Amino acid sequence: MSMLTVTIDGKITTVPAGSTILDAAKKLDVDIPTLCYLNLEDLRINNKGASCRICVVEVEGRRNLAPACATPASDNMVVKTNTLRVLNARKTVLELLLSDHPKDCLVCAKSGECELQNLAEKFGIRESPYDGGEMSHYRKDISTSIIRDMDKCIMCRRCETMCNDVQTCGVLSGVNRGFSAVVAPAFEMNLADTVCTNCGQCVAVCPVGALVEHDHTWEVVDALANPDKVVIVQTAPAVRSALGEDLGIAPGTSVTGKMAAALRRLGFDHVFDTDFAADLTIMEEGSEFLDRLTRHLNGDQTAKLPILTSCCPGWVKFFEHNFPDMLDVPSTAKSPQQMFGAIAKSYYAEILGIPREKLVVVSVMPCLAKKYECARPEFAVDGNPDVDIVISTRELARLIKRMNIDFAGLPDEDFDNPLGESTGAAPIFGVTGGVIEAALRTAYELATGETLQKLEFEDLRGMDGVKVATVQVGPHALRIGVAHGLGNARKLLERVRAGEAFHAIEVMACPGGCIGGGGQPYHHGDIELLKLRTKVLYDEDAGKPLRKSHQNPYIIELYEKFLGKPLSEKSHHLLHTHYFKRQRL
Amino acid sequence: MAATTQIKQLRIATRNCGFIDPESLDDYIALRGYEALAKVLTMTPAEVVEVIKTSGLRGRGGGGFPTGVKWGIALSNKADQKYMVCNADEGDPGAFMDRAVLEGDPHSVVEAMAIGGYAIGATLGAVYIRAEYPLAIKRLRLAIDDARAMGLLGKNIFGSGFDFDIEIKYGAGAFVCGEETALIRSMEGHRGEPVSKPPFPAQSGYWNKPTIVNNVETFANIPAIILKGADWFSSIGTATSKGTKVFALAGKIVNVGLVEVPMGTPLREVIFDIGGGCPDGKEFKAVQTGGPSGGALAHKDLDVAIDYESLIARKSMMGSGGMVVMDEDDCMVSVAKFFLDFTMDETCGKCTPCRIGSKRLYEILDKITKGHGTHADLARLKSLCEAIKDTALCGLGQTMPNPILSTMDTFAGEYEAHVTQKKCPAHVCTAMLTYTIDAAKCTGCTLCTKVCPVDCITGTKKQPHVIDASKCIKCGACYDKCKFDSVIKL
Ligand SMILES: Cc1cc2nc3c(=O)[nH]c(=O)nc-3n(C[C@H](O)[C@H](O)[C@H](O)COP(=O)(O)O)c2cc1C
Ligand code: SF4
Ligand code: SF4
Ligand code: SF4
Ligand code: SF4
Ligand code: SF4
Ligand code: SF4
Ligand code: FES
C-alpha cells in the first residue's frame, strides 16, 4: 500500500493511501472536533456524510475549508487545524446549530454526555447571536423503547447510518428539505408503527438528546416505595461489563459484585440474575435443537433446520417483519429475560407464597428492545406481565447516582438464590457467538454423554460480522453460523433462504452482541470499547467453577421440583413462545 | 429579437436552433449531423480527449471545469462500466438555455453524448432532465429513438464495434438535484443530496463507477469542435475561456431572451447593444449573473470582458448563464433577499451552514429591509457569509452568500442607508417609506382621499391635502392616483 506524507499543524506523519485528514490527525494526537463522524470501519461501513462541518480544517492550496472526516489525505498535504479562520468557522457552525436548538440542558436526558453541549462549552459559547431566530419544531414521538425529540436533532444522520447501513432496517431517513429537514420514518409515522426493531442502535450513536431511551427509572422508584409489593430484580449478562463506565470506573472492568451490592442498597427485596435464566434458556433451546436435529436426521419433514436463536427481541421483531415466511425456523424458546419473568411469577411466587400480582419483576438490560419485549401481550397472564419494568444499563447508573450510592466504594456482593446462580455459559450470552457456544457446551455433553474437553469455541468468537464454523458433536459435523448486527443477520438469512445448509444460527441484533446494546453506556461506534466489554464476559466465564448450563445446581433443582424436564409440557407453557407475521413498512 | 441583436452574436451551441426541424433526424444530418461521431470513431479515445482539451472547452453548467481534463480522468480510470450523464436539470430560476437546446436541436446532445461515451469508454448514457420540460423530453426521446433506429445509437455504431445507448431519467424538480453528486444520488433512487468531493464523479460516480456529468450546452458545443477543430474553437474567446456562452436576458431589459456571444464580449454590449438597455428610459443599475449563486455587477463593471475569471474576480460567477438586469427602481438589499429566499427554499438541509445559515442570512436581510437593521447586523451578515462560503458542503451553499457579498461590496451605501438613516434609497422597502403631499404641487383635487383605504388623507377641496403618517399603511394608492405628482415617497 502506498504511503502518504501529511503535515498537520507543523507535525509530520505518514498514513496509508485512503486515509482521511482526520485519520492522520489522530495519529499525530491532533484533536479535531467531530459531530456527524462515526468510525464504522470495523463494521465495514463507509460513513462519510460530512454534514455537520464542525471538523473543517485549512488545507494549503484549497479555496475553502475541508471537512477532515471525509477529505482523503494526499501526499505532501499541509493542513492547519487551529487557525483563526478555522476556529471562527467552527464557532459559526456551532452558533448556527445552537440557534436552532432548544436550550433544554436542565431537563435533557443527554445532559452531561452530550457532544453538542461539550462543544459549546469548549468553544465558550456564552450567547446566541441569532436570538429571535426561528426554530424548527416537530412533535415528540414516544415508543415503549425510544423517545424521538427532533427539536434537538442536529441532522448528523448517524442514526440513519446505523438503522439503514448497519441494521438494514431502513426506518430512519432524511425527509423534507432545507430548514424543515428532519430524520424520520417514512410518511413521518411514529416509530412504534414501523418495522423498527427497537434495537436502539440509533440511540447508541445520537450525539445529542434527540434520540434517547424511554426512561422507566421513576416507575422503579415508585415500585420500591410501595409496601404492598415484593420487588425483585434481574440483571442481564452484558450489564456488568459496562455499568462501571457510567459510574467513573474504567472501561473493561467487571462490576458484577458492586452491581449486586448497589441493587440491594436501592432496596430490591431480592437481587437475582438473568444469567440464571440464560442457563435455563440453554437447557430448553439446547434440547429443542437436539430434538429437531434427531428428528431431522431421521427424515422428519416437519423438523426444520437450521434452528435460529431467539433470545434477542430486536432480532425476533426483525425476522417477524422481514422473513415472515420463515417463522417456523427460530427456536421457540423465550429470551432469558422472559424466562426469568415466567419462572419468577410462577415457581418463585409459589415459594414465597404470594400471588403473582404482588410480585414486581424489574429487569436491568443492555437493551432497549427488551422494554418492548416485556410489553408484548403474549408475555402476560390476565394482563399481568411476566416482567413489569425494564430499565437499561444507563438508567441503572442514573438510579445509583440519584440515590447517592457511592458505587466505587461498594463491596462485592453475591446474587440471591435460587434465581441468582449461574455457570460460565451464562455471562457469554452477552457477546456475539456466546449463546451458541453455551448451547454447544451443553448439547455436546447431552448428545454424546462425554465430557467436553475444550470449552472455548474460538471460531465462533470475535468481531467478524458473519462467522461460520463446523463443530463436531459426536458423529455429527454441525455447521454453525453466527451474525451480529441485523445487516449481517439479513445476509446470513438470505444465504439460508437460498439453500445453504446450516444446523444452527445465532443472531444478536447489536454490533458485538448485547455488550454493544442500545441501552449500554453510549458506544458511539467505538469498536475498541466493545472489545473491552467482551473481555470482561469471557473472563467471567473462565473464572467460574462451573461452566456448562446443565451443571447449575439451581437449574437442576428447578427441573426436579417444578418443570420436570426440558421441553416438558410445563416448560412449553412457561418457557416457549410463538411468532407473528408483521407488515413490512 | 431585433435584427441588430444577431450582429454581435455567434452561435455554436445553438447553431441549429430555429434552423432545423428538431423532430427531424434528416434535417440534423443535412447540417452535417453525426459526422462528428463518425469521425471520432476513426480516432482513439485518447485523441478525442486531446481535441477537447486543446479546444479549451469548459463546463457550461456553472463550474467551468475544463471538459477535456475531466474526460481524461474518466478515461484513465479503469472500470468494467463507466457512464456518460447529461445534466438537464436546469433549476436556476429564469434560465432556459438548456431547454432551448433540447427543444431546438436534441440530436446535437445525443451525438455529443455518444462522442463522450467513446472518449471515456462508457457504453451507457443518461439524460437527467427536469420533469417540467415536457416538450424537451418528447423531442429528446424522439431523437434517441430515431438515432437508435438509424444505428447511430445501440450496438456496433457505424460498424466500429462501439456500443452506446442513452436512457432518460426524470428530475424531481429540486434545484440542488442539478448538483452533480446529488444528481447521481437521485438517479440511484436516493434522496437528492450532495455528497462530499473528492472522490469526484469522474473517479467514482453513478453506482460507484467513473461517471462524467456534463451540461447540455457543454455537449452542444462538442460536435462543432470535432468537425471544425480545436484550433477554430480556441481562437474564439479569451485567454482562459474559449468559445461562446449562451445567456438568458431577463428582468428590466428591452430584449428579453437568449443570446449566444463569444466569451470576452463586454457586458455593455450584451446589455445595451444586444439587450437594448432598460425599458422606459430608466437608468441601468446592476445585472445579476450566475443566478442565485452569482453576484451583482454595476456600472463600473460594464466594460468587463465576460469570462469565468473576470466574473469570479467580481464576486459573481458565470453560472449557467442567467442575466437579470436591475434598474434604478430596484433595491439591492431586496434583490439579495430575493435570491436568499430562493436558496433558503432550495437547500437540501444536509449540512449545517447551509441549512441553518441560509435561514439566518434571510432573517438578517429581512430585518434590514424592515428598518430594524443595525451595524452589528451588517457585520454579522458579512462574517456569516464568509463562514458559509468556507464551510458549506456543496456549491449551492458555498455560493449562496455571493448575492449578499457582492451587493454589500458594490452597493455598500445602500445597505448603510437602510441601517443608519432607516431609508431605502430605491423606495422599495415599504417599512421605511413615508408618503407625504407636496403642498406646493397639490391642487386639492381630492382624488387621493377617495382611494386611501384607511382614510388618512384630510383636506378641503382646492386646498393642499395632508397625510396622517401615523395611520398611513403605505399602500401607495394615493401616489399612483395623483395626477399632479404631488404625493412624494421618502
Ligand atoms: C446547486 C447546484 C445546482 C446545479 N445545477 C445545475 C444544472 O441545473 N445544470 C447543470 O448542468 N449543472 C448544474 N450544476 C453544476 C453541476 O454540479 C456540474 O458541475 C455540471 O453539471 C458539470 O457539467 P459541465 O462541466 O459541463 O458544466 C449545479 C451545481 C450546483 C452546486
Ligand atoms: S441535546 Fe445536548 S445541548 Fe441539547 S438540550 Fe440536551 S444536553 Fe443540552
Ligand atoms: S431502534 Fe434500531 S431499527 Fe429502530 S429506528 Fe433505531 S436503529 Fe432503526
Ligand atoms: S436524531 Fe440524533 S443521530 Fe439522528 S440525525 Fe438527529 S442528532 Fe443525529
Ligand atoms: S443484541 Fe442484545 S442488546 Fe441488542 S437488541 Fe438484542 S438482546 Fe437487545
Ligand atoms: S450546501 Fe446546502 S444544498 Fe449543499 S449539501 Fe449543504 S445543505 Fe445541501
Ligand atoms: S399610501 Fe395608502 S394609506 Fe397612505 S395615504 Fe396614500 S393611500 Fe392612504
Ligand atoms: S465530523 Fe466532519 S463534517 Fe461532521
State which residues form the domain around A351. 228-275+338-409
Q: pLDDT grade, residue B4 (50/70/90)? A: very low
Q: pLDDT grade, residue A585 (50/70/90)? A: low
User: φ, ψ for residue A69 (rounded to 5)?
Assistant: -70, -25
Over residues B252-307, the pLDDT tens digits come to: 999 999 999 999 999 999 999 999 999 999 999 999 999 999 999 999 999 999 99
Is the pLDDT assigned to residue B404 strictly greater than 70? yes
| Residues A232, A345 share a domain | yes
| Residues B249, B216 share a domain | no
Angle, helix B402-410 to helix B332-346, in steps of 10 degrees: 170
What are the CA-CA distances from residue B129 to residues B38, B68, B103, B167, B318 (Å)?
Answer: 27, 23, 12, 11, 21
Is the pLDDT assigned to residue B2 strictly greater than 50? no
Domains identified in chain A, total number: 4
How many Å lie between the centroid of ligand 7 and the Cα of residue A556?
95
Residue A214 and residue A145 in contact, taking contact as beta carbons nearer than 8 Å:
yes
Find, among A99, A245, A549, A489, the residue nearest to B362 by Cα.
A99
Ligand number nearest to the C-alpha of A100: 2
Task: Identify the pLDDT of residue A146.
Answer: 98
Q: What is the DSSP secondary structure assignment for residue A226, as one 8-state letter?
A: -
Mean pLDDT of B314-328: 93
Query: Is the C-beta atom of A153 inside 6 A of ligand 2?
Result: no
What are the CA-CA distances from residue A228 to residues A54, A72, A224, A272, A355 (Å)?
Answer: 54, 63, 10, 20, 12
Is the pLDDT assigned to residue A408 strictly greater than 60? yes
How many residues can be counted in chain A? Answer: 585
Is the pLDDT assigned to residue B1 strictly greater than 80? no
Contact call for B355 and A181, based on CB within 8 A: yes
Structural domain contains residue B5 = no
Query: Is the C-beta atom of B62 inside 6 A of ligand 1?
Result: yes
Q: Does residue B353 belong to the interface with chain A, where contact is any CB pair within 8 Å?
A: yes
How many Å lie between the centroid of ligand 3 and the Cα of residue A163?
5
Domain at B275, CATH number: 3.10.20.600
How far apart CA A89 and CA A61 sit, in angstroms, is 18
Task: Identify the pLDDT of residue A347.
Answer: 96
Other Cβ atoms less than 10 A from the Cβ of A216: the count is 18
Over residues A130-156, the pLDDT tens digits come to: 978 888 889 999 999 999 999 999 999
Contact call for B391 and A89, based on CB within 8 A: yes
Sign of CA dihedral A462, A464, A466, A469: negative
Query: Is the C-beta atom of A425 inside 6 A of ligand 5?
Result: no
Candidates B355, B364, B389, partner chain A, best to mutate (most A CBs within 10 A): B355
Residues from chain B that touch A73, judged by Cβ atoms under 8 A, are: none
Q: Does residue B189 belong to the interface with chain A, where contact is any CB pair within 8 Å?
A: no
| Residues B298, B220 share a domain | no
Residue A317 and residue A197 in contact, taking contact as beta carbons nearer than 8 Å:
yes
Task: Identify the pLDDT of residue A46.
Answer: 77
Residues A314, A39, A8, CA angle at the centre, nearest 5°? 170
B71 min Cα distance to partner chain A (Å):
22
Task: Identify the pLDDT of residue A436.
Answer: 96
The burial class, CB within 10 Å (0-12 / 13-18 / 19+), for B30 is exposed
Is the pLDDT assigned to residue B350 strictly greater than 90? yes
Is the pLDDT assigned to residue B452 strictly greater than 70? yes
| Residues B267, B200 share a domain | no
What three-state secondary structure class fits B15?
coil
Q: Does residue A49 belong to the interface with chain B, where contact is any CB pair within 8 Å?
A: yes
Element (H, E) at B295: none
| Residues A15, A32 share a domain | yes
How far apart CA B394 and CA A64 sit, in angstroms, is 11
Contact call for A65 and B393, based on CB within 8 A: no
Domains identified in chain B, total number: 4
Q: Does residue A466 belong to the interface with chain B, where contact is any CB pair within 8 Å?
A: no
Strand blocks (E) in B43-106: 83-88
Is the pLDDT assigned to residue A365 strictly greater than 80? yes
| Residues A324, A377 share a domain | no
Residue B296 and residue B410 in contact, taking contact as beta carbons nearer than 8 Å:
yes
Nearest Cα residue to atom 4 of ligand 4: A159
Find, among A583, A585, A581, the residue nearest to A320 by Cα.
A581
Contact call for A178 and B358, based on CB within 8 A: yes
Q: pLDDT grade, residue B7 (50/70/90)? A: low
Is the pLDDT assigned to residue A340 strictly greater than 50? yes
How far apart CA A96 and CA B360 sit, in angstroms, is 8
| Residues A373, A259 share a domain | yes
Q: pLDDT grade, residue B3 (50/70/90)? A: very low
ipTM value: 0.92
Q: The pTM is what?
A: 0.93
How far apart CA A47 and CA A69 sit, in angstroms, is 9
Residue A43 and residue A21 in contact, taking contact as beta carbons nearer than 8 Å:
no
Q: Does residue B384 belong to the interface with chain A, where contact is any CB pair within 8 Å?
A: yes
Residue A51 has its nearest CB partner, among B350, B388, B389, at: B350
Contact call for B393 and A67, based on CB within 8 A: yes
Structural domain contains residue B4 = no
Q: Does residue A48 belong to the interface with chain B, where contact is any CB pair within 8 Å?
A: yes
How many Å lie between the centroid of ligand 5 and the Cα of residue A333?
16
A180 min Cα distance to partner chain B (Å):
8
The alpha carbon of A469 is separated from its chain's Cα centroid by a whole number of angstroms, namely 24
Active-site residue list of A: 285, 288, 311, 331, 370, 373, 378, 514
CA B395 to ligand 1: nearest atom: 31
Contact call for A64 and B398, based on CB within 8 A: yes
| Residues A358, A307 share a domain | no
Task: Identify the pLDDT of residue A302.
Answer: 86
Closest CA in chain B for residue A88: B387
Structural domain contains residue B10 = no
Over residues A282-319, the pLDDT tens digits come to: 999 999 999 999 999 898 888 888 999 999 999 999 99
Residue B352 has its nearest CB partner, among A48, A52, A88, at: A52
Structural domain contains residue B213 = yes
Task: Identify the pLDDT of residue A83.
Answer: 97
| Residues B289, B224 share a domain | no
| Residues A110, A78 share a domain | yes
Query: Is the C-beta atom of A37 inside 6 A of ligand 8?
Result: yes
Mean pLDDT of A85-100: 97
Q: Which of A240, A432, A514, A520 to mutate to test the pocket of ligand 5 (most atoms within 8 A of CB)?
A: A514
User: φ, ψ for residue B248 (rounded to 5)?
Assistant: -110, 110
Query: Is the C-beta atom of B396 inside 6 A of ligand 6?
Result: yes
B420 min Cα distance to partner chain A (Å):
20
| Residues A449, A363 share a domain | no
Is the pLDDT assigned to residue B5 strictly greater than 70? no
Structural domain contains residue A134 = no
Domain at B359, CATH number: 1.20.1440.230
Q: pLDDT grade, residue A40 (50/70/90)? A: confident
| Residues B158, B64 share a domain | yes
State which residues form the domain around B357. 332-421
Element (H, E) at A303: none
How many Å lie between the centroid of ligand 5 and the Cα of residue A201?
10
| Residues B352, B377 share a domain | yes
Counting runs of H as helices and runs of E as strands, what totals does chain B give? Answer: 21, 14
Over residues B195-228, the pLDDT tens digits come to: 999 999 999 999 999 999 999 999 999 999 999 9
Is the pLDDT assigned to residue B44 strictly greater than 50? yes
Structural domain contains residue B9 = no
Domain at B446, CATH number: 3.30.70.20
Task: Identify the pLDDT of residue A584.
Answer: 76
Beta-carbon-side half-sphere exposure of residue B166 (alpha carbons within 13 Å): 35
Sign of CA dihedral B335, B341, B347, B352: positive
CA A148 to ligand 4: nearest atom: 1
Mean pLDDT of chain B: 95
Here the contacts of B190-193 (C-beta below 8 Å, separation 24 or greater) are: B191/A173, B191/A174, B191/B348, B192/B348, B193/A174, B193/B348, B193/B350
Mean pLDDT of B75-93: 95
How far from each other are the two terminal CA atoms of chain A, in whole angstroms? 44
Contact call for A52 and B351, based on CB within 8 A: yes
How far apart CA B448 and CA A491 sit, in angstroms, is 78
| Residues B307, B252 share a domain | yes
Residue B360 has its nearest CB partner, among A51, A52, A96, at: A96
